[in-house]
Chains A and B, each alone.
Chain A
Amino acid sequence: DVKVTQSSRYLVKRTGEKVFLECVQDMDHENMFWYRQDPGLGLRLIYFSYDVKMKEKGDIPEGYSVSREKKERFSLILESASTNQTSMYLCASNGLLGGNEQFFGPGTRLTVL
């Protein structure tokens, strides 16, 4: 079974802190994605990566950056956390050889105070 893990289920940070959210997948997938999910707004794509050291902006990249140094790991960075970044963050991956379906991690609920 495909497994996508995220470093924390719950995280509480203060405004202005630098926050790292990490995601690891064990299926040798080329593509990895970061979403945030808010009530009434659905899933919104922040950034994605189709190869090591490659990244592309999604629909809402402002205030975020990403890092992909290894194929299995994709990190989301909040350079200076703000209260409007309080959200559920979901990581997903898929591979070129599969059916294009994305497999999701369990999510990180981030609260910025």
Chain B
Amino acid sequence: EDQVTQSPEALRLQEGESSSLNCSYTVSGLRGLFWYRQDPGKGPEFLFTLYSAGEEKEKERLKATLTKKESFLHITAPKPEDSATYLCAVQAARGSTLGRLYFGRGTQLTVWP
């Protein structure tokens, strides 16, 4: 069974304190790994897609990396506005359910001034 596990469940950082969020996965062939940001009471907002081990993507203070078994979302010098829940999802290569994603439960990030 495909599984996505995110850690930690919650993370509190002081403004400027860099850290990383982890997403480990077990799928039968990876078509893509996706990172989303979700603010309270809103729908998830797409951040990145990674397709193969070794790939990296960056956006402002966020950098996502991918290995064969996990992905990291590195946050450099975070600001309070980076506070949100970050979701990881994977798409498996097998089967006919194209487009279906399997989501982790998320990491709730709080950045305090």
Whether A43 contacts B91 by the Cβ 8 Å rule is: no
How many pairs of A and B residues are in contact by the CB < 8 Å rule?
61
Q: For B43, list chain A residues within 8 Å (CB).
A: 4, 90, 92, 104-107
Known pairs A31-B98, A101-B34 / 17 extra A-B pairs, C-beta < 8 Å: A4-B43, A31-B99, A48-B97, A48-B100, A50-B98, A90-B43, A90-B44, A92-B43, A94-B99, A96-B98, A100-B32, A100-B49, A102-B89, A104-B44, A106-B42, A106-B43, A107-B41
11 contacts between A and B (CB under 8 A): A31-B98, A31-B99, A33-B100, A43-B103, A92-B43, A100-B31, A100-B32, A102-B46, A102-B101, A103-B46, A107-B43
Question: Min CB distance, A18 to chain B, in Å?
Answer: 24
**Residue numbers in B under 8 Å from A33 (CB-CB):** 99-100
- Which residues of B pack against A, CB within 8 Å? 31-32, 34, 36, 41-46, 49, 87, 89, 91, 97-101, 103-106
Q: Assign chain A's interface to a size class.
A: 20 to 34
